[in-house]
Amino acid sequence: MPMVFGRRVAAYAALGALVVATAAAANSATTPGIYSTTQAAAGSKVFEANCASCHGENLEGGAGPALSGQNLKTLAKNTKLTVSQMYTFFSQEMPLNNPGSLTSAQYLSIMAYILKFNGYPSGSGALTSTSIKKATMIITSLKS
């Protein structure tokens, strides 16, 4: 679906992802835990109810792109999208059939779940609307 893809690239460009790439790529040894396991568990349920129909029960993709594995690695390489930018994108544009319909707490929990699923370590505190702004590491998959 080239039109849809074009819109996503345009949205990312507007976020500055295609222009500035100052953030360092994440790796599991140096990546700080920016979400809590409780938050990720809540996010799993929110994702299942609102996102899995298009992105897959296991983030493997379907009508929408995979939010895991090789697809995230390719995304990181091509767009240098940060965690903060991905969050901004999906909290405004997703679910595709009802954009922006969830609460900030729900969107933040989904971000925690996506991070956990892709091998990012958890920390002692939950991701908040303040801390997400400082999440400048490039989102990828830390799983091989």
Q: How far apart are CA 104 and CA 14, in angstroms?
A: 21
Nearer to ligand HEC, 7 or 30 (CB): 7
Site for ligand HEC in 49-78 (CB under 6 A): 50-51, 53-55, 63-65, 67, 75
- End-to-end CA, the chain: 28
Q: Per CB under 6 A, which region of 1-9, 21-29, 31-39, 119-127 contacts ligand HEC?
A: 1-9
DSSP for 8-58, please give it.
HHHHHHHHTTTT---SPBP-TTT----S-HHHHHHHHHHHHHHTHHHH-TT
Nearest in space to 87 (alpha carbons), one of 118, 129, 48: 129
| In the complex, least distance from residue 121 CB atom to ligand HEC, rounded to whole angstroms | 20
Residue 140 near residue 72 (C-beta atoms within 8 A)? yes
Q: Which CB, 29 or 40, lies closer to ligand HEC? A: 40
Q: Which is nearer to ligand HEC, 30 or 118 (CB)?
A: 118
**Does 8 sit near ligand HEC (CB under 6 A)?**
yes
State whether residue 120 is helix, strand or coil: coil
Residue 133 CB, nearest distance to ligand HEC (Å)?
Answer: 17
Rounded to the nearest whole angstrom, what is the least distance from the CB of residue 12 to ligand HEC in the complex?
7
In sequence order, the β-bridge partners of residue 82 are: 138
- Contact positions toward ligand HEC, by CB under 6 A? 4-5, 7-8, 50-51, 53-55, 63-65, 67, 75, 86, 89-90, 94-97, 102, 110
